[in-house]
Amino acid sequence: MYLDSLTKLLAGIPALLLALTFHEYAHGKVAYLLGDPTPKYQGRLTLNPLAHLDPLGTLLLIVAGFGWAKPVQINPFYFQMERRKAMMLVALAGPLMNLVIAYLGAVAWRISGFWGWQGDFLSAFFNLLVVYNVVLAVFNLLPIPPLDGSRVLAGLVSRESASYIYGLETLGPFLLLFFIATGITGRIMQPLVSLVLDLILQASRLTVI
């Protein structure tokens, strides 16, 4: 996500804010719909980026390509369905929202190009909006605690296996940092991000045509 020009920097900031904000909002909204009022009490059911951003995490995302938003806190004891499945749905909500935003951004990108509205800034904005959302979706779906993918995996396996996955959450951040530092995460993500980007761009082309 490193930005190497002023135009990309100026276009990348709103694109990144949208990606992070909708991701965290989706987590909070689904948790609330499943019966947990915690996100509402903490002011997370809003599309105001200030409610979702961690200043240091956002700065690092812009300049270094790795960072974080403020996690949405949930209380699974409020859920009105089996907790493990509810946690899976809440976890899926963020990445799925990112994929929806990426698709809508790709459609808007094609429409703006068709009507001749694209300049350097607008083209960079839509480009980064699509890329950021796809990268966030793929990254968060990696089954490494505390990423969303670990909770999705826990909702698909047996209770015993899910307990083991949840038990790794204390070590998860260290494992994640190790995978990032050694380049393992990048090697895993690169083909997945390319595949998802291709699918979204193809779908947007069919939609506009």
Asked if 53 contacts 70 with a C-beta cutoff of 8 angstroms, the reply is: yes
Measure the CA–CA gap between 105 and 201, rounded to whole angstroms. Answer: 10
Which tens digit of pLDDT belongs to each residue from 135-188?
999 999 999 888 999 999 999 998 888 888 888 888 888 888 888 889 898 899
Q: What are phi and psi of 159, to 5 degrees?
A: -60, -40
| Measured CA distances, 153 to 85, 133, 162 (Å) | 10, 21, 8
pTM over 0.85: yes
Residue 135 in any domain: the answer is yes
Residue 1 in any domain: the answer is no
Q: Give the structural domain span for 79.
A: 6-208
Measure the CA–CA gap between 123 and 155, rounded to whole angstroms. Answer: 39
Asked whether residue 16 carries a pLDDT value surpassing 80, the answer given is yes
Q: What are phi and psi of 98, to 5 degrees?
A: -60, -40
Q: Which range is least confidently modeled, 76-85, 99-108, 125-134, 165-174? A: 165-174
Which tens digit of pLDDT belongs to each residue from 189-208?
999 999 999 999 999 887 76
160 flagged as catalytic: no
Residue 24 in any domain: the answer is yes
Residue 93 in any domain: the answer is yes
Residue 61 in any domain: the answer is yes
Question: Which of residues 31 and 112 earns the better pLDDT score?
Answer: 31
Tokens at residue 113, please? Answer: 């190009």
Number of separate domains in the chain: 1
